[in-house]
Chains A and B, each alone.
Chain A
């Protein structure tokens, strides 16, 4: 894609692009390369000298049961956030799309959680589930559940999943609704004339046509659960109790800042970078396919 008509100037384009490139180099490429360098070094006990240790930091990570555990927790957390969030918002979008009246009003009333910061979402749900004043905590206690998410790992996971999913529902809803509204009504009417009921129409006509949107949202939600939920975890559980909600991003921060293990934290950064690159490549290969359709 090139413009036919362009301006002629030898220096101006470099000047225009310079601010963006400068920030990119100083705050993106340089630190990323430092993470790679740091990941093969280890500091001595006094932090004065560092020496080359090759893959040792990585090997140490994969022998660290807490790191492997953090991987499992991240997998569980992102699977739950993605599947629950997507199924709920798909159900809502299909319902809203069917109704002739009120779609716009429902949209307005459902989109705003997108604007709530993950950390604030954590604070709000933490309060609802807080033993003592929290309403849901009280209901659970009345129902005979021994509820205290500050002490019980499974309950802590439940609360962080609720908070993280709640924030993401509006985003998914908007994209599903846009996807549904772009499906030609004639296709659905044709299926109805052929005698297909609403459920058959959904699974045989609507769902396949919606699958590009669904696939896109799966990638976005996995990225969200992996990287953008730091605030939810930090405000709600601090990775606890007993590291039961310590997702990978939280562990990178904790090991680097609180535990001061620079080499280990850098090695974790490099692994996370590989994960983001993988997810981005998947996303863009899919978009290319969509363009060539």
Chain B
């Protein structure tokens, strides 16, 4: 602090608080909408204070799903959330495992074509799903993986960012540890599991937070792969419900579902904030 400016400080706090309120406003409104009856929400404008129906509507979203005229087969949110959870955890864990292994190979071994492989992994950064939609869909279809968890997860678990992060960390691990392990007669895999992986756990936690959010929030990929509602994720369902053609909107239940869709990743970020910020800042180095 250079100058004491109580008025400017008060103004600063005021601005930040105002911004926090604006940022939180749409979610507050979703919760309010989820706490009223359909009749109340259908008023113009809807009520601004919470009602008494939050539990009823959340329970309906979780176990029944919204009933829409013209849209058959409402899927209960619990099924959708389970799919999202499976997808998010499988993607996060899969990315971490294959990236740890490949970073280990790149850092701790000398072998022909090493740099070639490293560049291959690097180039995937330049090929996001969005730019190769149809051919990737075709391959997954040819492999018979449409409407399967494998199809939802496997094509997304290659990770240049995770490989780079782990490689960077491995480079800082002292060489003496390898020498000590060797003298004690440990082979490479023993060293990897018993020494390297435990040392990497903070980076692994950081990577898990980032990739869990990435997996949970996937939209385009499940839209292509999961046409069967049994494999749809909650984020995909929200995108579809919000624009359901000409339906009688059950706004309280739909907004309840939207809150359920954003709650798990938001909780992960807030509860694991330290690792989240670390993961975010370090992967961008």
Contacts and interface: CB of A to CB of B under 8 A. Distances in A.
B238 A120 contact: yes
Interface in B158-177: 158-159, 163, 171, 175
Nearest to B218: A117
A20 B163 contact: yes
A178 B281 contact: yes
A96 B188 CA distance: 48
Interface stretch (A22-30, A70-78, A79-87): A22-30
A265 B29 CA distance: 39
B154 A23 contact: yes
Interface stretch (B42-50, B57-65, B66-74, B75-83): B42-50
Interface residues of A, number: 103
Given A5-B175, A12-B188, A108-B270, A134 B45 contact: yes
Contacts of B255: 127
A26 to B, nearest CB: 7
Interface in A116-141: 116-120, 122-128, 132-135, 137-139
B219 A231 contact: yes
B126 A265 contact: no
B101 A135 contact: no
Given A7-B109, A227-B128, A273-B131, A117 B265 contact: yes
A143 B178 CA distance: 71
Contacts of B136: 27, 31
A149 interface: no
A129 to B, nearest CB: 10
A57 interface: no
B135 A31 contact: yes
Contacts, number: 303
B240 to A, nearest CB: 8
Contact of A127 (B3, B30, B111, B117): B30
A14 interface: yes
Given A31-B139, A35-B132, A174-B277, A21 B117 contact: yes
Nearest to B155: A27
B52 interface: no
Interface size of B as a range: 35 or more
Contacts of B27: 124
Contacts of B25: 128
Query: Would you call the interface of chain A mostly helix, strand, loop, or mixed?
Result: helix
A243 interface: no
A111 B269 contact: yes
B7 interface: no
Contact of A135 (B45, B106, B109): B45
Contacts of A134: 45-46
B175 A133 contact: no
B241 to A, nearest CB: 8
B266 A115 contact: yes
A252 B79 CA distance: 30
B270 A99 contact: no
Contact of A19 (B20, B101, B175): B101
Contacts of A108: 270, 273
Given A30-B139, A106-B20, A231-B239, A3 B273 contact: no
A234 B243 CA distance: 9
B104 interface: yes
B16 A106 contact: yes
Interface of A: 1-7, 9-10, 12-14, 16-17, 19-21, 23-32, 34-35, 38, 88, 91-92, 95-96, 98-100, 102, 106, 108-120, 122-128, 132-135, 137-139, 166, 169-171, 174-175, 178, 188-189, 192, 198, 216, 220, 227-228, 230-231, 234-236, 238, 249, 252-253, 256-257, 262, 265-266, 269, 272-273, 276-277, 280, 287
The 5 nearest A-B residue pairs measured at CB = A117-B217, A31-B135, A138-B45, A34-B135, A235-B239
